[in-house]
Amino acid sequence: MAVMEAFLGLAQGFVQDGRVDSIRFSTRPDTICRKRLDVLAGYSVRTVELGVQSMVDEVLRQSRRGHTAAHTAAAVKLLRAEGYAVGLQMMVGLPGDSGDHALETANRLADLQPDFVRIYPTVVLKGSRLAEWYRAGRFAPVSLERAVELVKAIYVIFYRDGIPVVRMGLQEAGDMAKGDAVLAGPFHPAFGHLVHSALFLEMARRLLSHRQERAATISLKTHPRSISRMKGLKLSNIDALRRQFNLRRLTVESDPTMPEDELRLNDDETGVTYHHLAVGENPDLESCPAEGSG
């Protein structure tokens, strides 16, 4: 407790100096209790993030997290009662995880109505216990393609319930930026962009599948900030759509009057937005080849 108060006191000094507005920190769900919340009351803490990672107890056990789903539910209840903004972090591809487990976690977190969430794919970092399991053949991370498809389905769950997803994928920093830290797993410096691009690709496929005329030239419209998402990295979405629908030319036009999450055929008055994507229609999410240990 003394160490916690020492760090809080240091952060409080920045608030008192007017250099920051408030304090935010991340912790484990099982650290939240009445005694600690009484300590927090003396500081300018507004937001608490919980490293939930999974709401499936077997996944938490195999990952040796040291807490349960019940700890998360109780922690959120306590924090809400004290008026804190609550952020929840989850991971996909942990030991013992599966597509069904990850979707269950997302749905159960959405039921807790957090103020925001972060979604991270599990990667194997040097020097970690997971690295030992990976080298011993006791853990196999999911592929990048599978992680993107799974996180895409999870994103839709939170989007549907109006819960902001403030980050998808690990932030590149330190040894990660040099490429020395990650041994294996679905790490990509633009992971979130890959997920958004996958969402736009699915929306475009639905739009083009339902058009009446099979014109060889098609134009899509979206918000200026979503153009790169629609095109995909290195125009991957454009290339995929041209091949699938036998298009001679496919362009993406800017329309600042449109929401950022909407895509429309240039001659179509009906937009397609993320919440029209049904999670159950995402393919092959029933199992992830991530074998647990411990």
pLDDT in tens, 178-208: 667 899 999 999 999 999 999 999 989 988 8
Please indicate, yes or no, whether residues 214 and 274 belong to a single structural domain of this protein.
yes
Please indicate, yes or no, whether residues 149 and 241 belong to a single structural domain of this protein.
no
Please indicate, yes or no, whether residues 134 and 216 belong to a single structural domain of this protein.
no
Please indicate, yes or no, whether residues 172 and 232 belong to a single structural domain of this protein.
no
Q: What is the pLDDT of residues 244-281, one digit of tens each?
A: 999 999 999 999 998 898 888 876 555 655 444 543 34
> Going by DSSP bridges, is the β-strand pair 124-125/182-184 parallel, antiparallel, or unpaired?
antiparallel
Q: Helices (DSSP H) in the chain: which residue ranges?
A: 2-16, 34-40, 57-62, 69-81, 99-111, 129-135, 144-160, 175-178, 191-209, 227-231, 236-245
Per the model's pLDDT, the better-predicted residue between 126 and 171 turns out to be 126
Closest by CA position to 63, among listed 74, 49, 52, 48:
52
Please indicate, yes or no, whether residues 167 and 21 belong to a single structural domain of this protein.
yes
What pLDDT is stored for residue 278 in this prediction? Answer: 41
Query: In whole angstroms, what is the distance from residue 97 CA to residue 110 CA?
Result: 18
**pLDDT for residue 293 is more than 90:** no
> Of the ranges 4-13, 107-116, 279-288, which is most confident?
107-116
Question: Residue 201 sits in a domain of what CATH number?
Answer: 3.40.1260.20
Please indicate, yes or no, whether residues 261 and 204 belong to a single structural domain of this protein.
yes
Return left, alpha or beta for 284; rule: phi > 0 is left, psi -120 to 50 is alpha, else beta: left
Please indicate, yes or no, whether residues 179 and 212 belong to a single structural domain of this protein.
no
Query: In whole angstroms, what is the distance from residue 288 CA to residue 97 CA?
Result: 7
What is the span of the domain harbouring residue 207? Answer: 195-281
Q: Whose structure tokens read 């957090």?
A: 114
Please indicate, yes or no, whether residues 184 and 252 belong to a single structural domain of this protein.
no
Over the chain, what is the mean pLDDT?
88
Worst-scoring range by mean pLDDT, 48-57, 91-100, 207-216, 242-251?
207-216
What pLDDT is stored for residue 235 in this prediction? Answer: 97
Give the chain's domain count: 2
Please indicate, yes or no, whether residues 75 and 152 belong to a single structural domain of this protein.
yes
Which of 138, 173, 189 marks a domain boundary?
A: 189
